[in-house]
Amino acid sequence: MPTVPPNVPLSLPGLKEKRPRQIGRSVVSTLAFSSYDVGNSGYATSIMSTLFPIYYSSYFLPESMDRYDQLTLGLANSLPAIVVSISAPFLGALADNSRSRKPFLAFFCAIGVLGCLALAAVPADWWWLALLCYMVSIVGFSGSNVFYDSLLPSASRYCPSMVDVVSSSGYAFGYVGGGVLLVIQIVMIFASPSSLGSIPMRLAFASTAVWWSAFTLPTLLFVRELPPANSLPIGQALARVPRDVYETVKSFGHYRQLALFLASYWLYIDGVDTTIRLAASMGAELGISDLNLMLALLMVQFCAFPAALGYGVLGKLIGPKPAIMIALVIFTVGSVVAAIFMSNALHFFMLSFVTALVMGGTQALSRSLFARMIPPERETQFFGFFNMLGKFSVFMGPILVGVTSTVLNVRWGLASLSLLFFGGLVLLILVSPKKAMKAARAAPKSVEQAELFNGMVGSDEPSYPVTGADV
């Protein structure tokens, strides 16, 4: 295979040129990448967070099973996510070897869409079938995110130094997209005459499937995967999966800064996810009405849109690590202050607003910082571990809050989240992105990936050793 000798300047279309056409391509690529976030955030906001929990209890679950409501719903949320998380590194290795990220993204998206459509046809009181369809949709949602996140470097190919903005744009448009779909569905459900029975609910489930699939198409059509240094037929790629996963796990001894960042991420993202999942229930225990809780949820969705975009710019100006650290300080202090002073709806709205300002930015910049520190030829494998930790983290925060709230009270439960944010902050302070990028820079990569990597980390020098064909 052709190699690139040292001291030879590289000039690849879309990576070094600053012509207006390249800027246009960068905008198209960013919007196409963000489009999938609009689609799957519609599913997360509409079905996972709002509609299915409500209708599972009131429509699908018979009265004789009411006592098992939280248990069965909790298992339905956890089991498929754990299965996908464990398999994510293996799927990532297969996708990296065969260079088939977008086909895998389309496959898992189709699974999720079919699960949503099936939910629309489940009869009343058929709780087991509703849970089965819901779990299928979660498999599609969780699996597709692994391959979607790994497309971030490819989506940034035309302006790699803007990787923070590209990542933040995905979260920003995802928040507003999820909010818009939920508003449409709420109006559709509550404005429909009661004579229609369960039809509005079924249309809401079906509309989520249509929304998700429609916003997936631009990502599949307009985000161009980077050309690989090596690409294997699917059979050979499958045979190499166990060895590659083993090599990736072993390589964390070499990529020590990357491993330290993942440990930090595991702690603080647990705090972020717990805040998202339990905010409504904690607010209810503090006496906040259902209407105010729903309005606060919608406010977060729409306020997080400009906030995530702004945080992407902040990451570009001061770097993603300092920007994440600022957010973690706000989360740490905010959880303690809220636990002490929150007593009415106004306080809850203030807390929700502050959360919206930093929530999306923390998630987006974590993704873009991680993308800078991983070997370019193995993005999907490493993003598999990234997503695996994100999924596994969701058990520690809820248990911490639940035990603390039970033993003491809900205010202490809210304050306990500061331990996760502070622990993540301490570990993040110890992370050296420069050392991580230096280690990743030495990994073999194709010519175009070398230039893209240099653009993301802020260097114009070629990365060597470089292998693979110039495209």
Identify the burial level of 333 via C-beta atoms within 10 angstroms of its C-beta, where 0-12 means exposed, 13-18 middle and 19 or more buried. Answer: middle
CB 441 within 8 A of CB 376: no
91 occurs within a structural domain:
yes
Residues 6+ apart with CB under 8 A from 452: 15, 153, 156, 157, 160, 226, 376
Helix axes 410-430, 256-285, angle to 10 degrees: 160
pTM: 0.72
352 is in which domain, residue-wise?
20-457
Q: What are phi and psi of 162, to 5 degrees?
A: -100, 25
Residues 6+ apart with CB under 8 A from 308: 168, 169, 171, 172, 175, 360, 361, 364
Q: 302: phi > 0 → left, psi -120 to 50 → alpha, else beta; which?
A: alpha
CA angle 237, 238, 244 (to 5 degrees): 75
- The candidate with the shortest Cα–Cα distance to 2, out of 439, 450, 372, is 450
Residue 242 is predicted with a pLDDT of 65
Residues 6+ apart with CB under 8 A from 5: none
12 occurs within a structural domain:
no
Residue 470 is predicted with a pLDDT of 26
Both tokens of 132, joined, read 């089965």
* Count of domains for the chain: 1
13 occurs within a structural domain:
no
- Give the integer Cα–Cα distance in Å for 231 and 399: 43
Residue 443 is predicted with a pLDDT of 54
CB 399 within 8 A of CB 243: no
Both tokens of 417, joined, read 């989240």
DSSP alpha helices (H): ranges in 8-157?
20-43, 52-55, 69-98, 101-119, 127-150, 152-155
Helix axes 379-392, 127-150, angle to 10 degrees: 140
Residues 6+ apart with CB under 8 A from 349: 292, 295, 296, 299
6 occurs within a structural domain:
no
CB 101 within 8 A of CB 36: no
Residue 132 is predicted with a pLDDT of 93
463 occurs within a structural domain:
no
Residue 304 is predicted with a pLDDT of 80
CB 140 within 8 A of CB 112: yes
44 occurs within a structural domain:
yes
CB 336 within 8 A of CB 271: no
Can you give the pLDDT of all 471 residues of the chain as single tens digits?
Answer: 344 433 333 333 344 445 666 777 788 888 998 999 999 999 988 888 778 877 887 788 887 777 776 667 767 777 787 787 777 777 777 776 666 788 889 999 999 999 999 999 999 889 889 999 999 998 999 888 888 887 887 787 777 667 777 877 888 888 889 889 988 988 888 887 776 677 888 999 999 999 999 999 999 999 887 665 555 555 555 556 666 666 766 766 677 888 888 889 888 888 887 776 666 666 666 677 766 777 777 788 788 878 888 877 888 788 889 999 998 999 888 888 877 777 777 877 887 888 888 887 888 888 888 888 887 666 667 776 776 666 665 666 667 776 777 777 777 877 888 888 899 999 999 988 888 777 766 654 443 444 444 444 554 333 323 333 223
Both tokens of 155, joined, read 């989506």
CA angle 164, 95, 24 (to 5 degrees): 40
- Give the integer Cα–Cα distance in Å for 220 and 105: 8
Kindly report whether the peptide bond that precedes residue 465 is cis, defined as omega within 30 degrees of 0.
Answer: yes
Residue 422 is predicted with a pLDDT of 92
Both tokens of 162, joined, read 């803007």
Task: Output the domain CATH number for residue 155.
Answer: 1.20.1250.20
The one-letter amino acid at 146: V
249 occurs within a structural domain:
yes
Residue whose token pair is 């000039």? 11
- Give the integer Cα–Cα distance in Å for 138 and 267: 23
CB 124 within 8 A of CB 197: no
464 occurs within a structural domain:
no
